[in-house]
Chain A
Amino acid sequence: MERRARFKVLYGAHAPAVKGYILRRAEPSLADDLLAEVFIVAWRRLDEVPADPLPWLLGVARRVLATQRRGERRRRALRDRLAENSAAPPAIQAGPDTARLRGALERLGESDRELLLLIAWEELSPSQVAAVLGVKPGTVRVRLHRARRRLAEALAREREQPTRCTSLPMEASP
Protein backbone atom coordinates (compact mmCIF):
# COMPACT_ATOMS: atom_id res chain seq x y z
CA MET A 1 0.00 0.00 0.00
CA GLU A 2 2.82 2.33 0.86
CA ARG A 3 4.31 1.70 -2.55
CA ARG A 4 1.07 2.71 -4.25
CA ALA A 5 0.85 5.83 -2.12
CA ARG A 6 4.41 6.82 -3.05
CA PHE A 7 3.63 6.21 -6.67
CA LYS A 8 0.51 8.36 -6.51
CA VAL A 9 2.49 11.21 -5.01
CA LEU A 10 5.13 10.88 -7.70
CA TYR A 11 2.53 10.80 -10.44
CA GLY A 12 0.56 13.71 -9.06
CA ALA A 13 3.63 15.87 -8.72
CA HIS A 14 5.36 15.17 -12.00
CA ALA A 15 2.96 13.70 -14.55
CA PRO A 16 2.01 17.11 -15.99
CA ALA A 17 5.66 18.08 -16.52
CA VAL A 18 6.44 14.73 -18.10
CA LYS A 19 3.41 15.01 -20.32
CA GLY A 20 4.53 18.47 -21.37
CA TYR A 21 7.94 17.09 -22.29
CA ILE A 22 6.28 14.37 -24.36
CA LEU A 23 3.84 16.75 -26.01
CA ARG A 24 6.72 18.89 -27.24
CA ARG A 25 8.24 15.92 -28.99
CA ALA A 26 5.44 13.59 -30.06
CA GLU A 27 1.97 13.62 -31.49
CA PRO A 28 -0.61 14.72 -28.95
CA SER A 29 -2.64 11.59 -29.54
CA LEU A 30 0.28 9.50 -28.27
CA ALA A 31 1.03 11.63 -25.25
CA ASP A 32 -1.13 9.87 -22.68
CA ASP A 33 0.06 6.46 -23.78
CA LEU A 34 3.70 7.46 -23.68
CA LEU A 35 3.11 9.07 -20.31
CA ALA A 36 1.73 5.78 -19.07
CA GLU A 37 4.82 4.00 -20.38
CA VAL A 38 7.06 6.36 -18.46
CA PHE A 39 5.22 5.84 -15.22
CA ILE A 40 5.02 2.10 -15.69
CA VAL A 41 8.81 2.17 -15.73
CA ALA A 42 8.70 4.40 -12.69
CA TRP A 43 6.43 1.93 -10.93
CA ARG A 44 8.79 -0.93 -11.60
CA ARG A 45 11.83 1.03 -10.54
CA LEU A 46 10.22 3.01 -7.79
CA ASP A 47 13.01 2.22 -5.35
CA GLU A 48 15.54 3.72 -7.77
CA VAL A 49 13.74 7.03 -8.20
CA PRO A 50 16.04 9.75 -6.83
CA ALA A 51 15.16 12.57 -4.49
CA ASP A 52 14.73 14.94 -7.45
CA PRO A 53 12.55 12.70 -9.60
CA LEU A 54 11.79 14.97 -12.55
CA PRO A 55 15.13 14.68 -14.38
CA TRP A 56 15.05 10.93 -13.84
CA LEU A 57 11.50 10.75 -15.21
CA LEU A 58 12.45 12.89 -18.21
CA GLY A 59 15.35 10.56 -18.85
CA VAL A 60 12.91 7.66 -18.92
CA ALA A 61 10.60 9.67 -21.16
CA ARG A 62 13.49 10.36 -23.49
CA ARG A 63 14.17 6.64 -23.85
CA VAL A 64 10.48 5.85 -24.25
CA LEU A 65 10.27 8.45 -27.02
CA ALA A 66 13.35 6.99 -28.69
CA THR A 67 11.74 3.55 -28.59
CA GLN A 68 8.56 5.00 -29.96
CA ARG A 69 10.42 6.62 -32.84
CA ARG A 70 12.18 3.38 -33.65
CA GLY A 71 8.81 1.71 -33.90
CA GLU A 72 7.47 4.51 -36.06
CA ARG A 73 7.49 2.59 -39.30
CA ARG A 74 5.62 -0.33 -37.78
CA ARG A 75 2.97 1.97 -36.45
CA ARG A 76 2.58 4.03 -39.59
CA ALA A 77 -0.21 1.92 -40.95
CA LEU A 78 -2.10 2.20 -37.71
CA ARG A 79 -1.57 5.94 -37.53
CA ASP A 80 -3.18 6.29 -40.91
CA ARG A 81 -6.21 4.59 -39.50
CA LEU A 82 -6.09 6.82 -36.48
CA ALA A 83 -5.72 9.90 -38.60
CA GLU A 84 -9.24 10.95 -37.92
CA ASN A 85 -8.55 11.14 -34.21
CA SER A 86 -4.98 12.27 -34.27
CA ALA A 87 -4.03 15.89 -34.08
CA ALA A 88 -0.82 17.15 -35.54
CA PRO A 89 2.07 17.77 -33.17
CA PRO A 90 1.56 20.96 -31.25
CA ALA A 91 2.49 23.85 -33.44
CA ILE A 92 2.97 27.48 -32.73
CA GLN A 93 2.11 30.21 -35.11
CA ALA A 94 5.31 30.86 -36.94
CA GLY A 95 6.59 34.28 -37.70
CA PRO A 96 9.76 34.86 -39.68
CA ASP A 97 11.93 34.64 -36.51
CA THR A 98 10.32 31.38 -35.51
CA ALA A 99 10.92 29.90 -38.91
CA ARG A 100 14.56 30.94 -38.75
CA LEU A 101 14.94 29.51 -35.30
CA ARG A 102 13.37 26.31 -36.45
CA GLY A 103 15.77 26.14 -39.34
CA ALA A 104 18.69 26.87 -37.05
CA LEU A 105 17.66 24.11 -34.67
CA GLU A 106 17.51 21.72 -37.56
CA ARG A 107 21.11 22.55 -38.38
CA LEU A 108 22.18 21.37 -34.92
CA GLY A 109 22.97 17.83 -33.94
CA GLU A 110 20.38 15.88 -31.98
CA SER A 111 22.32 16.06 -28.72
CA ASP A 112 22.80 19.82 -28.93
CA ARG A 113 19.17 20.35 -29.78
CA GLU A 114 17.92 18.18 -26.93
CA LEU A 115 20.23 19.91 -24.50
CA LEU A 116 19.00 23.36 -25.45
CA LEU A 117 15.36 22.40 -25.44
CA LEU A 118 15.64 20.81 -22.00
CA ILE A 119 16.93 24.14 -20.75
CA ALA A 120 14.58 26.38 -22.70
CA TRP A 121 11.35 24.39 -22.75
CA GLU A 122 11.55 22.15 -19.70
CA GLU A 123 13.28 24.90 -17.69
CA LEU A 124 15.77 22.50 -16.15
CA SER A 125 19.02 23.48 -14.55
CA PRO A 126 22.27 22.14 -16.05
CA SER A 127 22.59 19.61 -13.24
CA GLN A 128 19.03 18.40 -13.89
CA VAL A 129 19.80 18.17 -17.60
CA ALA A 130 22.83 16.09 -16.67
CA ALA A 131 20.54 13.68 -14.84
CA VAL A 132 18.24 13.44 -17.84
CA LEU A 133 21.08 12.77 -20.26
CA GLY A 134 23.06 10.58 -17.91
CA VAL A 135 26.22 12.69 -18.03
CA LYS A 136 28.14 14.78 -15.53
CA PRO A 137 26.96 18.35 -14.80
CA GLY A 138 30.33 19.70 -15.91
CA THR A 139 29.90 17.99 -19.24
CA VAL A 140 26.49 19.58 -19.64
CA ARG A 141 27.88 23.04 -18.94
CA VAL A 142 30.58 22.61 -21.56
CA ARG A 143 28.18 21.18 -24.09
CA LEU A 144 25.60 23.84 -23.33
CA HIS A 145 28.11 26.58 -23.95
CA ARG A 146 29.03 25.04 -27.28
CA ALA A 147 25.42 24.35 -28.22
CA ARG A 148 24.41 27.95 -27.55
CA ARG A 149 27.22 29.16 -29.72
CA ARG A 150 26.38 26.71 -32.51
CA LEU A 151 22.72 27.67 -32.43
CA ALA A 152 23.54 31.36 -32.54
CA GLU A 153 25.81 30.74 -35.50
CA ALA A 154 23.21 28.57 -37.18
CA LEU A 155 20.63 31.28 -36.62
CA ALA A 156 22.90 33.83 -38.21
CA ARG A 157 23.37 31.52 -41.19
CA GLU A 158 19.65 30.90 -41.30
CA ARG A 159 19.00 34.61 -41.57
CA GLU A 160 21.27 34.67 -44.57
CA GLN A 161 20.17 31.40 -46.15
CA PRO A 162 16.96 29.82 -44.80
CA THR A 163 16.51 26.05 -44.83
CA ARG A 164 13.34 24.06 -45.01
CA CYS A 165 12.90 21.62 -42.18
CA THR A 166 10.29 19.15 -41.08
CA SER A 167 10.97 17.50 -37.80
CA LEU A 168 10.23 20.14 -35.22
CA PRO A 169 6.80 21.04 -33.99
CA MET A 170 6.75 24.51 -35.40
CA GLU A 171 4.94 25.66 -38.46
CA ALA A 172 6.96 26.99 -41.34
CA SER A 173 6.41 30.59 -42.16
CA PRO A 174 3.99 31.20 -44.98
Chain B
Amino acid sequence: MTEDIIPLLAAVNPVREVSAVPGVEDLLGLIDARDETLPMPARRLTSGRSRRRALAASLAAAAAAAGGLVLAGGSSGPGVNVAAAAYAATSTGGGVLEAQFVDRLFNRGRAPVTFHRREWIDTSTESQRTQRIFQGYIRRTRTMTSESATAPGRVEFWQGATDAPSAIQRFDITTGPRAHHGTGTPQGALRLGPTLAKARVRAAEAVAAGEAPAVVLQGVGSPLQAEGIGLYRWLYREHAFKLVGSEQLDGKQLWKLEGNLTVARFSGRKHAKVVPMIGLVVLVDPSTFLPVIQREIRLRVPGHPVTMETQLVSYRRLPADAASEALLQLSPQHPGVPVITTTAPQRKP
Protein backbone atom coordinates (compact mmCIF):
# COMPACT_ATOMS: atom_id res chain seq x y z
CA MET B 1 0.00 0.00 0.00
CA THR B 2 1.27 3.49 -0.86
CA GLU B 3 1.25 5.87 2.12
CA ASP B 4 -0.27 9.33 1.67
CA ILE B 5 2.73 11.52 1.32
CA ILE B 6 1.07 14.93 1.17
CA PRO B 7 0.34 15.26 4.93
CA LEU B 8 3.93 14.28 5.64
CA LEU B 9 5.16 16.97 3.30
CA ALA B 10 2.77 19.52 4.72
CA ALA B 11 4.11 18.78 8.18
CA VAL B 12 7.60 19.82 7.15
CA ASN B 13 6.56 23.11 5.54
CA PRO B 14 9.47 25.37 6.51
CA VAL B 15 7.43 28.59 6.37
CA ARG B 16 4.12 28.40 8.10
CA GLU B 17 3.73 32.06 8.86
CA VAL B 18 4.84 34.69 6.41
CA SER B 19 6.38 37.89 7.68
CA ALA B 20 4.85 41.19 6.65
CA VAL B 21 5.17 42.17 3.04
CA PRO B 22 6.50 45.59 2.03
CA GLY B 23 3.89 48.26 1.46
CA VAL B 24 2.36 48.44 -1.97
CA GLU B 25 3.13 52.16 -2.17
CA ASP B 26 6.84 51.36 -1.97
CA LEU B 27 6.43 48.97 -4.86
CA LEU B 28 4.45 51.46 -6.91
CA GLY B 29 7.16 54.01 -6.26
CA LEU B 30 9.70 51.52 -7.54
CA ILE B 31 7.59 50.86 -10.62
CA ASP B 32 7.27 54.58 -11.28
CA ALA B 33 11.00 54.99 -10.87
CA ARG B 34 11.68 52.20 -13.33
CA ASP B 35 9.38 53.73 -15.87
CA GLU B 36 11.21 57.00 -15.45
CA THR B 37 14.51 55.32 -16.30
CA LEU B 38 13.21 54.24 -19.68
CA PRO B 39 14.36 56.33 -22.61
CA MET B 40 11.55 58.24 -24.31
CA PRO B 41 11.19 56.01 -27.39
CA ALA B 42 10.97 52.94 -25.19
CA ARG B 43 8.39 54.56 -23.00
CA ARG B 44 6.05 54.74 -25.96
CA LEU B 45 6.22 51.02 -26.54
CA THR B 46 3.06 49.28 -25.51
CA SER B 47 4.14 45.66 -25.42
CA GLY B 48 5.24 44.45 -22.03
CA ARG B 49 7.94 42.33 -23.59
CA SER B 50 9.23 45.26 -25.62
CA ARG B 51 9.21 47.43 -22.54
CA ARG B 52 11.17 44.87 -20.58
CA ARG B 53 13.71 44.58 -23.35
CA ALA B 54 14.03 48.35 -23.55
CA LEU B 55 14.43 48.58 -19.80
CA ALA B 56 17.06 45.85 -19.77
CA ALA B 57 18.90 47.53 -22.63
CA SER B 58 18.90 50.93 -20.99
CA LEU B 59 20.08 49.53 -17.68
CA ALA B 60 22.74 47.41 -19.32
CA ALA B 61 23.96 50.44 -21.21
CA ALA B 62 24.11 52.45 -18.03
CA ALA B 63 25.96 49.66 -16.28
CA ALA B 64 28.39 49.34 -19.13
CA ALA B 65 29.00 53.05 -18.95
CA ALA B 66 29.71 52.70 -15.29
CA GLY B 67 32.13 49.92 -15.96
CA GLY B 68 30.73 48.01 -13.07
CA LEU B 69 28.31 45.21 -12.52
CA VAL B 70 25.15 44.93 -14.50
CA LEU B 71 22.61 46.36 -12.16
CA ALA B 72 18.90 46.38 -12.26
CA GLY B 73 16.60 49.18 -11.32
CA GLY B 74 14.77 49.41 -8.06
CA SER B 75 15.71 47.30 -5.16
CA SER B 76 16.44 44.17 -7.10
CA GLY B 77 16.15 42.52 -10.42
CA PRO B 78 18.13 40.28 -12.67
CA GLY B 79 21.24 42.10 -11.55
CA VAL B 80 22.43 43.39 -8.24
CA ASN B 81 20.31 45.12 -5.64
CA VAL B 82 22.07 48.46 -5.43
CA ALA B 83 20.56 49.57 -2.14
CA ALA B 84 21.30 46.22 -0.51
CA ALA B 85 24.84 46.25 -1.80
CA ALA B 86 25.30 49.76 -0.49
CA TYR B 87 23.95 48.64 2.86
CA ALA B 88 26.33 45.71 2.90
CA ALA B 89 29.25 47.93 1.98
CA THR B 90 28.63 50.00 5.09
CA SER B 91 28.16 47.03 7.40
CA THR B 92 30.95 46.42 9.82
CA GLY B 93 30.29 42.87 10.96
CA GLY B 94 32.35 43.71 14.03
CA GLY B 95 35.02 46.33 13.88
CA VAL B 96 34.54 49.96 13.08
CA LEU B 97 34.09 51.95 9.91
CA GLU B 98 35.82 55.27 9.68
CA ALA B 99 34.50 57.68 7.12
CA GLN B 100 35.46 61.26 6.37
CA PHE B 101 33.12 63.70 4.72
CA VAL B 102 32.97 67.28 3.66
CA ASP B 103 29.59 68.84 4.31
CA ARG B 104 28.33 71.99 2.69
CA LEU B 105 25.33 73.62 4.28
CA PHE B 106 23.29 75.91 2.09
CA ASN B 107 21.43 78.66 3.79
CA ARG B 108 19.03 80.93 2.00
CA GLY B 109 20.89 83.86 0.48
CA ARG B 110 24.09 83.15 2.37
CA ALA B 111 27.38 81.63 1.40
CA PRO B 112 27.56 77.91 2.01
CA VAL B 113 29.05 76.82 5.30
CA THR B 114 31.58 74.04 4.98
CA PHE B 115 32.56 71.69 7.71
CA HIS B 116 34.50 68.51 7.88
CA ARG B 117 32.99 65.49 9.44
CA ARG B 118 34.37 62.18 10.51
CA GLU B 119 32.27 59.23 11.53
CA TRP B 120 33.14 56.06 13.32
CA ILE B 121 30.39 53.51 13.33
CA ASP B 122 30.00 49.97 14.55
CA THR B 123 26.85 48.66 12.93
CA SER B 124 26.80 45.53 15.05
CA THR B 125 26.30 47.55 18.23
CA GLU B 126 24.65 50.59 16.63
CA SER B 127 27.30 52.78 18.15
CA GLN B 128 28.53 55.83 16.38
CA ARG B 129 30.76 58.80 17.03
CA THR B 130 30.74 61.88 14.87
CA GLN B 131 33.24 64.69 14.88
CA ARG B 132 32.53 67.95 13.10
CA ILE B 133 35.00 70.69 12.52
CA PHE B 134 33.49 73.98 11.45
CA GLN B 135 35.48 76.39 9.40
CA GLY B 136 33.71 79.68 9.75
CA TYR B 137 32.49 82.12 12.31
CA ILE B 138 30.03 80.53 14.65
CA ARG B 139 29.31 82.29 17.90
CA ARG B 140 32.34 84.50 17.33
CA THR B 141 34.52 81.47 17.13
CA ARG B 142 36.64 80.89 14.09
CA THR B 143 36.91 77.16 14.42
CA MET B 144 34.73 74.91 16.42
CA THR B 145 34.91 71.21 16.91
CA SER B 146 31.96 69.32 18.17
CA GLU B 147 31.60 65.67 18.80
CA SER B 148 28.75 63.41 19.58
CA ALA B 149 28.65 59.75 20.37
CA THR B 150 25.59 57.59 20.47
CA ALA B 151 24.83 54.08 21.46
CA PRO B 152 21.53 52.48 22.36
CA GLY B 153 20.41 54.31 25.47
CA ARG B 154 23.16 56.92 25.49
CA VAL B 155 24.07 60.21 23.88
CA GLU B 156 27.27 62.09 24.62
CA PHE B 157 28.20 65.53 23.48
CA TRP B 158 31.37 67.53 23.61
CA GLN B 159 32.22 70.86 22.12
CA GLY B 160 35.70 72.26 21.71
CA ALA B 161 36.01 76.00 21.48
CA THR B 162 37.42 78.73 23.61
CA ASP B 163 34.08 79.70 25.08
CA ALA B 164 32.56 76.26 25.11
CA PRO B 165 32.30 73.99 28.09
CA SER B 166 34.94 71.33 28.09
CA ALA B 167 32.92 68.75 29.94
CA ILE B 168 31.40 65.80 28.22
CA GLN B 169 27.65 65.81 28.58
CA ARG B 170 26.13 62.39 28.75
CA PHE B 171 22.41 61.78 28.53
CA ASP B 172 20.35 58.71 29.03
CA ILE B 173 17.97 59.11 26.14
CA THR B 174 16.04 55.87 26.35
CA THR B 175 14.57 56.78 29.69
CA GLY B 176 14.15 60.40 28.80
CA PRO B 177 11.07 62.27 27.77
CA ARG B 178 11.74 62.28 24.08
CA ALA B 179 12.66 58.69 23.53
CA HIS B 180 9.30 57.53 22.33
CA HIS B 181 8.96 53.82 21.94
CA GLY B 182 5.23 53.67 22.22
CA THR B 183 2.45 53.65 19.71
CA GLY B 184 1.58 56.39 17.36
CA THR B 185 4.37 56.44 14.81
CA PRO B 186 3.62 54.42 11.72
CA GLN B 187 6.25 51.92 10.71
CA GLY B 188 9.00 53.53 8.73
CA ALA B 189 8.42 57.01 10.02
CA LEU B 190 11.26 58.93 11.52
CA ARG B 191 10.51 60.89 14.61
CA LEU B 192 12.46 64.00 14.02
CA GLY B 193 12.03 67.25 15.76
CA PRO B 194 12.10 70.55 13.93
CA THR B 195 15.02 71.70 16.02
CA LEU B 196 17.09 68.85 14.71
CA ALA B 197 15.98 69.51 11.18
CA LYS B 198 17.21 73.09 11.43
CA ALA B 199 20.36 72.52 13.42
CA ARG B 200 21.32 68.92 13.30
CA VAL B 201 24.64 69.53 14.86
CA ARG B 202 22.90 70.47 18.07
CA ALA B 203 20.79 67.37 18.11
CA ALA B 204 22.12 65.86 21.27
CA GLU B 205 21.83 69.12 23.14
CA ALA B 206 18.35 69.62 21.85
CA VAL B 207 17.20 66.20 22.87
CA ALA B 208 18.63 66.52 26.29
CA ALA B 209 17.33 70.01 26.82
CA GLY B 210 13.92 69.05 25.61
CA GLU B 211 14.01 71.43 22.68
CA ALA B 212 13.50 68.72 20.11
CA PRO B 213 10.17 67.00 20.64
CA ALA B 214 11.27 63.66 19.34
CA VAL B 215 14.37 62.56 17.59
CA VAL B 216 14.47 58.86 18.08
CA LEU B 217 14.59 56.62 15.08
CA GLN B 218 12.38 53.63 15.32
CA GLY B 219 14.46 50.54 15.37
CA VAL B 220 17.68 52.45 15.69
CA GLY B 221 17.31 54.08 19.00
CA SER B 222 19.46 57.13 18.98
CA PRO B 223 18.96 60.49 17.39
CA LEU B 224 22.33 61.20 15.94
CA GLN B 225 22.25 58.15 13.80
CA ALA B 226 19.69 60.08 11.81
CA GLU B 227 22.48 61.31 9.63
CA GLY B 228 25.44 60.14 7.65
CA ILE B 229 26.03 56.44 7.34
CA GLY B 230 23.42 55.69 9.97
CA LEU B 231 20.74 57.52 8.05
CA TYR B 232 21.77 55.85 4.85
CA ARG B 233 21.45 52.42 6.41
CA TRP B 234 18.20 53.25 8.13
CA LEU B 235 16.57 54.25 4.87
CA TYR B 236 17.53 50.93 3.35
CA ARG B 237 16.19 48.99 6.30
CA GLU B 238 12.93 50.86 6.09
CA HIS B 239 12.63 50.14 2.35
CA ALA B 240 12.68 53.89 1.87
CA PHE B 241 15.37 53.88 -0.80
CA LYS B 242 14.74 53.38 -4.46
CA LEU B 243 17.01 53.46 -7.45
CA VAL B 244 15.93 56.27 -9.70
CA GLY B 245 18.66 56.14 -12.32
CA SER B 246 22.21 57.31 -12.57
CA GLU B 247 24.11 60.56 -12.56
CA GLN B 248 27.45 61.42 -13.99
CA LEU B 249 29.94 62.99 -11.66
CA ASP B 250 33.50 63.82 -12.62
CA GLY B 251 33.27 61.54 -15.61
CA LYS B 252 31.99 58.62 -13.61
CA GLN B 253 28.50 57.22 -13.79
CA LEU B 254 27.07 56.74 -10.31
CA TRP B 255 23.88 55.06 -9.25
CA LYS B 256 21.30 57.37 -7.82
CA LEU B 257 19.21 56.34 -4.84
CA GLU B 258 16.44 58.45 -3.46
CA GLY B 259 14.59 58.25 -0.20
CA ASN B 260 12.33 60.42 1.85
CA LEU B 261 12.38 60.85 5.56
CA THR B 262 8.87 60.85 6.80
CA VAL B 263 8.41 62.72 9.98
CA ALA B 264 5.73 61.96 12.48
CA ARG B 265 4.09 65.06 13.83
CA PHE B 266 2.02 64.59 16.89
CA SER B 267 -1.25 66.30 17.43
CA GLY B 268 -2.04 64.17 20.41
CA ARG B 269 -0.41 61.39 22.30
CA LYS B 270 -1.32 58.57 19.99
CA HIS B 271 -2.02 60.00 16.60
CA ALA B 272 0.64 61.16 14.26
CA LYS B 273 0.53 62.85 10.93
CA VAL B 274 3.33 61.54 8.78
CA VAL B 275 4.76 64.01 6.34
CA PRO B 276 7.74 63.70 4.02
CA MET B 277 10.07 66.44 5.12
CA ILE B 278 13.57 65.66 4.03
CA GLY B 279 14.49 64.03 0.77
CA LEU B 280 17.79 62.26 0.53
CA VAL B 281 19.64 61.61 -2.70
CA VAL B 282 22.65 59.33 -2.53
CA LEU B 283 25.00 58.74 -5.42
CA VAL B 284 26.59 55.33 -5.11
CA ASP B 285 29.85 54.16 -6.60
CA PRO B 286 28.98 51.20 -8.86
CA SER B 287 32.13 49.30 -7.98
CA THR B 288 32.35 49.79 -4.22
CA PHE B 289 28.69 50.57 -3.51
CA LEU B 290 29.82 53.28 -1.13
CA PRO B 291 27.96 56.56 -0.97
CA VAL B 292 29.94 59.20 -2.80
CA ILE B 293 27.60 62.14 -2.59
CA GLN B 294 24.66 62.63 -0.30
CA ARG B 295 22.23 65.50 -0.76
CA GLU B 296 19.53 66.57 1.60
CA ILE B 297 16.53 68.21 0.05
CA ARG B 298 13.93 70.21 1.88
CA LEU B 299 10.71 68.80 0.56
CA ARG B 300 8.38 71.25 2.21
CA VAL B 301 10.03 74.29 0.71
CA PRO B 302 9.02 75.33 -2.81
CA GLY B 303 11.56 74.27 -5.37
CA HIS B 304 12.87 71.55 -3.05
CA PRO B 305 16.22 73.22 -2.41
CA VAL B 306 19.29 71.25 -1.46
CA THR B 307 20.09 72.16 2.11
CA MET B 308 23.20 70.09 2.56
CA GLU B 309 25.55 68.23 0.28
CA THR B 310 27.95 65.71 1.71
CA GLN B 311 30.91 64.31 -0.11
CA LEU B 312 32.65 61.18 1.00
CA VAL B 313 36.36 61.78 1.18
CA SER B 314 37.71 58.53 2.57
CA TYR B 315 36.50 55.34 4.06
CA ARG B 316 38.28 52.51 5.82
CA ARG B 317 37.59 49.56 8.04
CA LEU B 318 39.26 49.26 11.41
CA PRO B 319 39.70 45.98 13.25
CA ALA B 320 37.56 44.94 16.17
CA ASP B 321 39.92 45.78 18.98
CA ALA B 322 40.08 48.04 22.00
CA ALA B 323 41.52 50.93 20.05
CA SER B 324 38.66 50.87 17.57
CA GLU B 325 36.13 50.49 20.36
CA ALA B 326 37.54 53.60 22.01
CA LEU B 327 36.90 55.58 18.84
CA LEU B 328 33.19 55.18 19.42
CA GLN B 329 33.25 56.95 22.78
CA LEU B 330 34.12 60.45 23.83
CA SER B 331 35.92 59.86 27.11
CA PRO B 332 38.90 58.00 25.64
CA GLN B 333 39.26 60.76 23.07
CA HIS B 334 39.33 63.49 25.69
CA PRO B 335 41.17 62.10 28.68
CA GLY B 336 40.86 64.12 31.82
CA VAL B 337 37.70 65.88 30.71
CA PRO B 338 34.95 65.49 33.30
CA VAL B 339 31.77 63.70 32.36
CA ILE B 340 28.48 65.15 33.47
CA THR B 341 25.79 62.54 33.34
CA THR B 342 22.20 63.69 33.12
CA THR B 343 19.09 61.67 33.33
CA ALA B 344 16.49 63.43 31.27
CA PRO B 345 13.25 64.24 33.06
CA GLN B 346 10.24 62.13 32.47
CA ARG B 347 7.85 63.07 29.74
CA LYS B 348 4.87 65.08 30.83
CA PRO B 349 1.74 62.99 30.98
A interface, CB within 8 angstroms of B? 4, 7-8, 11-12, 15-17, 19-20, 23-24, 29-30, 32-37, 39-40, 43-45, 67, 71, 74-75, 78, 81-85, 89-92, 97-98, 101-102, 105, 116-117, 119-121, 123, 148-149, 151-152, 155, 169-170
Contacts and interface: CB of A to CB of B under 8 A. Distances in A.
B12 A170 contact: yes
B239 A101 contact: no
B8 interface: yes
Interface stretch (B16-24, B212-220, B315-323): B16-24
B91 A84 contact: yes
Interface of B: 2-10, 12-15, 18-19, 21-22, 24, 27-28, 30-31, 34, 48, 51-52, 69, 74-81, 84-85, 87-89, 91, 93, 239
B22 A36 contact: yes
Nearest to A40: B31
Contacts of A152: 2-3, 5
Contacts of B78: 67, 71
B339 to A, nearest CB: 33
Contacts of B91: 84-85
Contact of B75 (A19, A36, A121): A36
Please classify the interface of chain A as helix (H, G, I), strand (E, B), loop, or mixed, using the class held by over half of its residues: helix
B15 A24 contact: yes
A20 B21 CA distance: 10
A11 B24 contact: yes
B132 to A, nearest CB: 28
A148 B6 contact: yes
B243 to A, nearest CB: 12
B287 to A, nearest CB: 12
A172 B91 CA distance: 31
Contacts of B76: 30, 33-34, 36-37
A82 B93 CA distance: 10
Contacts of A78: 69, 80, 85, 88
7 A-B pairs with least C-beta separation = A33-B76, A120-B9, A15-B21, A20-B18, A90-B14, A84-B93, A44-B48
A17 B16 CA distance: 11
Contacts of A29: 84
A24 B80 contact: no
Contacts of A32: 21-22, 75, 239
Contacts of A30: 76
Contacts of B34: 40
Contacts of A8: 24, 28
A118 B5 CA distance: 13
A81 B5 contact: no
Contacts of B12: 92, 98, 101-102, 170
Nearest to B13: A121
A110 to B, nearest CB: 16
Nearest to A12: B24
A85 B87 contact: yes
Nearest to B75: A33
B318 to A, nearest CB: 16
Contacts of A45: 48
A15 to B, nearest CB: 4
Given A11-B27, A44-B52, A90-B14, A75 B80 contact: yes
A91 B27 contact: no
B9 A121 contact: yes
Contacts of A121: 9-10, 13, 15
Contacts of B75: 32-33, 36
* Max chain B C-beta neighbours (<10 A), residue from A12, A36, A102: A36
A24 B21 contact: no
A82 B24 CA distance: 25
A129 B22 CA distance: 26
Contact of A23 (B15, B69, B81): B15
A116 B6 contact: yes
Nearest to A155: B5
B93 A33 contact: no
A106 B191 CA distance: 50
B12 to A, nearest CB: 5
Nearest to B24: A11
A152 B1 CA distance: 10
Contacts of A151: 5, 9
